[in-house]
Amino acid sequence: MEEDDVVRSLAALAQPIRLRVFRALVVAGPAGLTPSALTEALEVSATGLSFHLKELVHASLISQERQGRNLIYRASFDRMNALLGYLSENCCEGEACAVDGSKAAACDC
């Protein structure tokens, strides 16, 4: 993943509603959600949601697919995993970090 892509993704997620939308789509999994399901679940106006969905699509964090009369939005798990990989690829000198923090303390990360 290129640095510009990382910055675009993080910028898109650096807004509370967009972060909530993205997390809801991650929870929904491959089935995705319609905008009406998102507005109901997140208590966001349809026009506000539309703006935030556009920003997440632009950052390639979610995808949009038309199914009949409905739009289905899905998290882009490949993009999410690439972002997480980019952020952690050099953590603890390339070794797995211990959950309890003992490795983090040992490698100053």
pLDDT confidence of residue 29: 97
The tokens describing 86, both together, are 């980019």
Q: Give the domain extent around 67.
A: 3-107
Q: How many domains does the chain have?
A: 1
**C-alpha–C-alpha distance, residues 44 and 28, integer Å:** 17
Tally of CA atoms within 13 A in the half-sphere of 34 that contains its CB:
9
Average pLDDT for the chain: 89
Position 68 confidence tier, pLDDT thresholds 50, 70, 90: very high
**Residue corresponding to tokens 């510009």:** 4
Residue 101 has pLDDT above 80, yes or no: no
Instruction: Give the pLDDT band of residue 89 (cuts 50, 70, 90).
Output: confident
- How large is the average pLDDT for residues 88-92? 81
What CATH number is given to the structural domain containing 98?
A: 1.10.10.10
Q: What is the pLDDT of residue 90?
A: 77
